[in-house]
Amino acid sequence: MKIAIPVDENKPSTGVCVSFGRAPYFMIFDTVSGENVFMDNSAAASQGGAGIKAAQFIVDAGAEVLLTPRCGENAAQVLSAAGVRMYKTTAGSASDNVAAFRAGNLQPLLETHPGFHGHGR
């Protein structure tokens, strides 16, 4: 199973990025190989619809689980339609959160926020 997390830096000690759609990188942890892969988030620089594009990226990468502090409603719609499960990250590094998820200690992400649509509101 692949677990995706929006992150600030492309190294395992990285923190979780506060934004999903505009995170600079995604860390994808493969539970089979036990390895982390870091991928550039091409949606980060989008003028609009970044959440949709980032969610598409997660779906295309074959992740089944997304660990994120928050998620916009459009992205959530894409992810849930594709069957990607979402969990809310807690304090700690991206790797800490992967461990917490595998130990069953993360809660499902139930709340999504309306899009910012370039207005930053």
Partner 1 sequence: MAGNRKIAVLSGKGGTGKTLISVNLAAVAGKSRYIDCDVEEPNGHLFLKPFPLSEETVAVRIPVLEEARCVGCRKCADFCRFNALAFLKGKPVLFEEVCHSCGGCVLLCPAKAFSERGKEIGRIQRGPSGSVSVTTGILNPGEASGVPIIRKLLEDAAGEESLPVFIDCPPGSACTVMESIKDADYCILVAEPSVFGAHNLAMVHRLVKLFHKPYGVVLNKCMPGENPSAAYCLENEIPVLGTIPYDKELGLLNSEGSIASRENSRYESLFSDLLRTVYLEVSNEAASDS
Report whether 5 contacts 94 (CB < 8 A).
yes
> Smallest distance from the beta carbon of 119 to partner 1, in angstroms?
8
Contact positions toward partner 1, by CB under 8 A? 43, 46-50, 52-53, 55-56, 59, 74, 77-78, 81-82, 115, 117
> Smallest distance from the beta carbon of 27 to partner 1, in angstroms?
22
CB closer to partner 1 out of 5 and 78: 78
List the structure tokens of 59.
């779906």
Report whether 74 contacts 87 (CB < 8 A).
no
CB closer to partner 1 out of 52 and 65: 52
Give Cα 68 to chain centroid, integer Å: 5
Give Cα 39 to chain centroid, integer Å: 12
> Smallest distance from the beta carbon of 32 to partner 1, in angstroms?
24
CB closer to partner 1 out of 52 and 106: 52
> Smallest distance from the beta carbon of 100 to partner 1, in angstroms?
29
Report whether 70 contacts 87 (CB < 8 A).
no
Q: 3-state class of 25 per DSSP? A: strand
